[in-house]
Structure 1
């Protein structure tokens, strides 16, 4: 009799746990949560884990109906902050102005898609720009952004070069291979995409990463962000969403070619060879040296924002630990 009571109690507990994880409507049917994720750019291998989660049904299993949408002109953070999308993709540096306001925008970084900053400067091989000081006297394609220019200035001067000697040419480079076959000598890239593109096209290059020159520049790019009101009121759904996303990235780490093909199936306009080679490279970067995908280190997060404030690149100092959380990541 005692054994039967224990079994019955266990069953009741299990039913309670299962029912507690899902919303039900008045008819008792499980409700599916509609989720919009705003990308930071056109689909690429930074986003592969999200598309894997769609294809493999990881979202569906967690009663989430997820849609990927393209960003507006003012970026994902602006849209997510309004609550018109629950989640989005942005960069720690791009988030800074939103967090450094008197009334910060209601957005929080929930996960690092890639563990380290993979951006740096690429140039044609053998032209002396294998280190930052080599940019002196050369032509650089600039977006003319204050943070961008300060980063260039800092790494060049750290390396003993003269920032004022760089020929800054305003240019929005959409194809790094084409750009480097013109009078442009140096381009800011994210190696996992544009750097791999030069390898695929057979263009020999030199490259240096910003984080290797100044460790404070190892900021998080990109990150998955969420609307503060949504994640506060829907903490369980947020955890289920992050659980599915993490599973998608873990799959991409273990199966880069298969994951690449999933991304291509959703976005057939992408260059197949580039996607596959990029995916192989990023498989080692999604988690890099941390145990759990998505983890954000507070020291690195705060250090970069302190650097922005010290260099007058944001209006107000961002409090320590503000703007991110690891609380919704799966253990």
Structure 2
């Protein structure tokens, strides 16, 4: 009996030692490092990334992900250079990077939001609940060709005269103050942040979305872009990264309040009321009517670039199916 007990004790000790060694090996297992560059300061467009980081989804995928702020020339250049493997961009702004002889090795690999939530916000009751109402009003413009062509398109589609809009060169960073001070009358915004900010501030507004005027303007904004060369060489890592990110955004859909807390923990400088209200809005936008988070519908992607081509807004013709892939998303 004593020999049996001794054998059991020794076996238990050996098992414990083996488990300890296995745990130690697991702890010291080298994670693959990935750098992800944002497009702007943290906001609810990025919630799924911070959830994936906080919840350990990246770690479970064998990844060590660093989220960094963008340089002045944007995420596209950093991703194309290989200094970051992934980043945030927009179908409209990545257009020059994927065309012509100097095209960069980047492509969109996931849609953060399924539809274009941008449009024009204005003070309520001043007639700008429709594009024609912008006639005679002050619009804050970035003075970009694509931007002005978009405004012209929706105004003329509504029977308005684009030339009657007063274009005020302005980079508005506080939409509420700009509208309340009447320095401008109309601003291009993304409703999920700036539109919600107006609601939180108690400012009554009118708003129309570009996609509701012209379906070709329902382009993908924002998107996650990746370095094409790196992804071809590391397809499993690219898929593991996007799978973890997908879990993060799915969590934000299911638990928006908790996801908002995770974003606030990562960026405590953000306004809590705004983040919570924005997250409640965004939970309906991440997947919306798509079959899964991240999926890019080829027909809709192509429709926007075809519109760009037809209006001569790109230096080079953009062939269909340029600049995106669904290859690295979970099937």
Q: If the length of structure 2 is used for normalisation, what is the TM-score?
A: 0.91
Q: Aligned partners of 1:31 and 1:57: how far apart in 2?
A: 15
Extract unaligned runs of 5+ from structure 1. 1-24
Query: 1:271-303 CA distances to partner (integer Å, 9 max, x unpaired)?
Result: 000000000000000000012100000011111
Give the corresponding residue for 1:201: 201
How much does 1:30 deviate?
3.9
Q: Is the 8 A contact 1:309 1:315 kept in 2?
A: no
Q: Aligned partners of 2:94 and 2:269: how far apart in 1?
A: 29
Q: Aligned partners of 2:144 and 2:269: how far apart in 1?
A: 30
Equivalent runs, 1:153-172 vs 2, <5 Å: 153-172=152-171
How much does 1:215 deviate?
0.4
Q: Is the deviation greater in 206-215 or in 314-323? A: 314-323
Query: 1:204-262 CA distances to partner (integer Å, 9 max, x unpaired)?
Result: 00000000000000000000000011101110000000000000000000000000000
How much does 1:309 deviate?
1.4
Give the corresponding residue for 1:85: 84
Length, aligned pairs only: 304
Give the corresponding residue for 2:305: 305
Give the corresponding residue for 1:240: 240
Q: Is the deviation greater in 142-151 or in 101-110? A: 101-110
Query: 1:150-206 CA distances to partner (integer Å, 9 max, x unpaired)?
Result: 000000000011100000000010011001012310000000000000000000000
1:253 to 2:225 alignment: no
Q: If the length of structure 1 is used for normalisation, what is the TM-score?
A: 0.91
Q: Aligned partners of 2:274 and 2:218: how far apart in 1?
A: 25
1:281 aligned counterpart, secondary structure = helix
Query: 1:31-63 CA distances to partner (integer Å, 9 max, x unpaired)?
Result: 311111110111000000000000000001111
Give the corresponding residue for 1:145: 144
2:92 aligned counterpart, secondary structure = helix
Q: Aligned partners of 2:255 and 2:323: how far apart in 1?
A: 32
Give the corresponding residue for 1:189: 189
1:161 aligned counterpart, secondary structure = coil
Q: Which protein has the larger Cα radius of gyration, Structure 1 or Structure 2?
A: 2
Give the corresponding residue for 2:120: 121
Give the corresponding residue for 2:176: 177
How much does 1:75 deviate?
0.7
Give the corresponding residue for 2:104: 105
How much does 1:102 deviate?
2.0
Extract unaligned runs of 5+ from structure 2. 1-24
How much does 1:79 deviate?
1.1
